[in-house]
Amino acid sequence: MRGTMKKLTQGDIAAAAVSGMDVLLTWNCRHMANPHTLPKTRDIITAAGYVCPAIMTPKTFIENQTLEAEL
């Protein structure tokens, strides 16, 4: 499915948003944790009336937690 996210990926993100999750961790950098697709993903979820969870890899999450702990 060139140019669009696969339906399973879209469903994962939608479920996270509808469930009110703060963070969605994924190793899927091709579709989900992709800096080129994230702005469009956030726009779609926000337009639907939901808050988009932060979407990142577990590695990025751990790095962010470490930085916050050091502050």
Q: Check residue 9 and give its pLDDT.
A: 79
Q: Check residue 1 and give its pLDDT.
A: 41
Extended strands (E) in the chain: 23-25, 54-56
Q: Where are the domains of the chain?
A: 22-70
- In whole numbers, what is the pLDDT of the chain averaged over residues? 85
Q: Which residues are registered as beta bridge partners of 56?
A: 25
The stretch 4-9 carries a mean pLDDT of: 64
Cα–Cα dist 54/38, whole Å? 9
Q: Over 60: is that where the pLDDT of 2 sits?
A: no
